[in-house]
Amino acid sequence: MLLFWGCITTDTAYTRVAPGPWRGVLELEKFNIPVRDKDTLFTLTEQFREGEIPFLFEVKYIDEERFYVEIRNGAERIRCDSIQYGRDRSKARDTFNLFFPEYATYIHAEVRGGVMQGEWIVTTKENYRIPFYAHAGRDYRFTTLNQKPIADLSGQWAALFGIEGDKPHKAIGEFRQKGNHLEGTFRTQTGDYRFLEGTVQGRKFWLSSFDGAHAFLFSGSIQPDGKLQGEFRSGIHHRTLWKAWRDTTFQLGRPDSLTLLKPNAPPISFNFTTPEGKRLVFPGPDFMGKVKIFTILGTWCPNCLDEQRFLAELLRKDSSLAAQTRVVGFAFERIKPELANAHLLTYKQRLGLPFDLVYAGKADKKIAETVFPALSHVMAFPTMIVLDKQNRVRYIHTGFDGPATSKYADFQANFLALLRRLVQE
């Protein structure tokens, strides 16, 4: 835990940050309303504005002084304990920094009693700052209203994103609704939108998620014919329209059929140095007689994080399998190259990864293709390549359906069966 304490005085009875639930908001559109006036009122439009991404978090104390923050997205709980708290003497205000080291982002806010106001800052993008505010004691995401929904959205939905353009892309919505409460995700051919949570009010609905890397807002309405139409916003730079309809037969491309080996492809090979200074050469003696898993990833990518956690847990649970398997993660980063190795060390340590990571270049799919020229094309971060003991490519998996999706359990079982088969060959 990173905590920096000074001679601190506060404006309230709390010596640090008020414990318990908080409602945070990222303002995609600035309304210029003082945070002290953003009080709970009695209409949806006054509790939630269309240009805001709300999320919930909880401040939990370990003892009288030490605390951590737990972000809540549906069933997901994200513990954040890289915290800096102190006093801005120039403004005579308490300040609160909540760091997300895995993603090189942080929230900076001034704290006055049960109110925070500041910014979410993405350090890997130029001048990427989104205004942020939060209120203590508020445990609703969008609204406290309970207007009767006109439909139950539970189930699978075929969806198209980018319908305002010439090339919309396919997705599958997976929703679970109980009364006004709505949870779920969207699966795409390159990954999923992870844990979304929101509400259905009458014919309108909203879902949001914030995990330190991405801020998502899905809004939509239920049409008279039962179809859905809506808008998707990711942070301040991406905005697109989507539509969906019920179709249990709708399919995405198979993840093992999207990126393939080129005809007469050259053998996979590489020569990298890890952040710890270890040389990794393939083919080489360190990889002989083992099944190999090479993952194309970015530490800025939550789907990649889900995949790395999955691999780490798989190896920890089966020591025999771990002894016969070699995993290397190839990180393509948005962070400056001179900072990449230090960042990868932090990422590896925080996730407890029992395998090597290497800095492979800038976050660009074309650059990833130069590292792995045997692949037909790299269309997603993450992409996973599995080689057998004879260094033959046996499996290429594009994207990742993580724990927020209905496909995660099946993927776990099938992938474990594949590895056990390969180590026995």
- The amino acid occupying position 132 is F
Read off the tokens for 198: 């929101």
Q: What is the pLDDT of residue 388?
A: 97
- The whole-model pTM stands at 0.90
Residue ranges of the chain with per-residue pLDDT less than 70: 1-15, 30-46, 89-92
pLDDT in tens, 59-73: 999 988 889 999 999
The yes or no reply on domain 270-424 and CATH 3.90.550.10 is no
Q: Please, what is the end-to-end C-alpha distance for the chain in angstroms?
A: 45
Concatenated DSSP letters of 123-170: TTSTTEEEEEEEEET---SS-S--PPPSS---EEEEEEE-TTSS--EE
CATH of 155-246 given 3.40.50.300, 3.60.20.40, 1.10.1520.10, 2.40.128.120: 2.40.128.120
Rounded to whole angstroms, how far apart are CA atoms 274 and 109? 36
At residue 5, the pLDDT reads: 32
What is the reported pLDDT for 30?
59
Q: What is the DSSP-derived secondary structure letter of residue 229?
A: E
* Confidence (pLDDT) at 151: 98
Give yes or no for a contact between 345 and 394, defined as CB atoms under 8 angstroms apart: no
CATH code of the domain occupying 20-136: 2.40.128
Number of H helices and E strands in the chain, helices first, is 6, 25
d(CA 369, CA 392): 18
Cβ atoms 136, 22 nearer than 8 A: yes
Which H or E run contains 218?
strand 215-222
**Structure-derived torsion over alpha carbons of residues 186, 190, 191, 193, reported in degrees to the nearest 10:** -40
pLDDT confidence of residue 94? 87
C-alpha distances (whole Å) from 53 to each of 197, 256, 264 are: 11, 34, 49
pLDDT at 44: 60
Q: Where along the chain do the CATH 3.40.30.10 domains lie?
A: 270-424
